[in-house]
């Protein structure tokens, strides 16, 4: 068996192509494009890549992008003041503060920042109000990664209703909202984490397995029920050639890629799972592009909601 590849990059392009004329229509009606404020604090390389990708994608669909790049030495008070300013701005329909924040800001800083963002502009879907609306299955801005996964499943004809879904990972950003979205779509949901006993056996009973644990190649074929749909949320970098060979095999083109680029990306799912699964998201080109596409969709939704309220 060779898994069907669920092409998240293709679906993301479809979503963005659909959004572009909608954004143009919004701008024509309102006299301005939707505005997205992005705040990046510090020099984390991964965060810089993500922010560039989000800013570029927003510009391509027609948003006004307001990017604030702050040094790692910025105080939490200054970040909160900036967020408050963006909350009050008529030009900003969405606000995104890239995480993780610098450790020097202290424990709980991320939550304080997310709590300060106006829920109507919370295009990441992380605020307590956004999460509460999701719990109650009421309309609202949804966390982008799980929302993107649901779009992928829908557009690939995979209905979670009546299926057993297992999620590895209980984060506020992916694991928990993913469980709720699947539950609302009539899946039977199990959430696994670091203290789950017999993890592989639990996962191997899943019709739909979502891996969001942050460990390279952790999910091997023994975790996967033959024919199951496997969604790989992980994004891990391998720079050691021995590790690349161990995961991908001696003849893999990923070895040459590592030599050219210095590293390669691998998800939380081992490449061997493609021999067992019925459908599988690749890394790269799977969930990542969908996260950015759903951020664009959330921003337009926030802009339309604010325009409808006359704010």
Catalytically active residues, by annotation:
54, 98, 124
CB of 204 closer than 8 Å to CB of 211: no
Tokens 């590849």 correspond to 5
Stated length of the chain: 311
CB of 220 closer than 8 Å to CB of 254: no
Structure tokens at 147: 């929302």
Taking alpha carbons only, the member of 289, 282, 265, 284 closest to residue 60 is 289
**Quick check: helix, strand or coil at residue 170?**
coil
Q: Note if the bond before 284 is cis, omega within 30 degrees.
A: yes
Tokens 């952790």 correspond to 218
Structure tokens at 255: 């070895």
In sequence order, what DSSP letters do the residues of 244-300 get, joined into one string? HHHHH-TT-HHHHHHHHHS-EEE-SB-GGGGGT-SEE--SSSSHHHHHHHHHHHHHH
Our separate counts of H helices and E strands in the chain read: 11, 11
Please tell me the distance from the alpha carbon of residue 212 to that of residue 206, in angstroms, as a whole number.
15
In sequence order, what DSSP letters do the residues of 36-83 get, joined into one string? EEEEEES--HHHHHHHHHHHHHHHHHT-EEEEEEE-TT--HHHHHHHH
Please tell me the distance from the alpha carbon of residue 197 to that of residue 76, in angstroms, as a whole number.
39
User: Do β-strands 208-211 and 164-168 pair in parallel, antiparallel, or remain unpaired?
Assistant: parallel
């Amino acid at each position: 068996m060779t898994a069907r590849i669920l092409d998240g990059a293709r679906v993301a392009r479809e979503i963005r192509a659909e959004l572009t004329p909608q954004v143009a229509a919004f701008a024509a009606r309102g006299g301005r494009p939707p505005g997205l404020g992005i705040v990046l604090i510090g020099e984390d390389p991964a965060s810089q890549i993500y922010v560039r990708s989000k800013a570029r994608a927003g510009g391509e669909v027609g948003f006004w992008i307001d990017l604030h790049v702050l040094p790692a030495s910025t105080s939490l008070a200054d970040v909160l003041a900036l967020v408050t300013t963006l909350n009050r701005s008529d030009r900003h329909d969405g606000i995104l503060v890239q995480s993780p924040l610098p450790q020097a800001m202290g424990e709980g800083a991320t939550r304080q920042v997310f709590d300060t963002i106006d829920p109507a502009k919370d295009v990441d879907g992380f605020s307590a109000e956004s999460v509460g609306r999701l719990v109650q299955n009421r309309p609202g801005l949804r966390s982008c990664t799980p929302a993107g996964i649901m779009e992928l499943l829908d557009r690939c004809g995979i209905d979670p209703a009546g299926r057993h879904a297992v999620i590895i990972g209980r984060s506020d950003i992916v694991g928990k909202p993913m469980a709720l979205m699947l539950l609302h779509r009539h899946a039977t949901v199990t959430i696994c984490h670091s203290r789950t006993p017999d993890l592989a056996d639990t996962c191997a009973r899943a019709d739909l397995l979502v891996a969001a644990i942050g460990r390279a190649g952790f999910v091997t074929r023994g975790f996967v029920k033959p024919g199951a749909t496997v969604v790989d949320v992980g994004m891990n970098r391998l720079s050691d050639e021995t590790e690349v060979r161990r995961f991908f095999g001696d003849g893999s083109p990923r070895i040459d890629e590592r030599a050219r680029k210095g590293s390669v990306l691998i998800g939380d799912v081992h490449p061997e799972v493609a021999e067992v699964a019925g459908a599988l998201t690749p890394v790269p080109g799977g969930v990542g592009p969908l996260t950015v596409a759903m951020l664009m969709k959330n921003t337009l939704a926030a802009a339309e909601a604010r325009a409808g309220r006359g704010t």
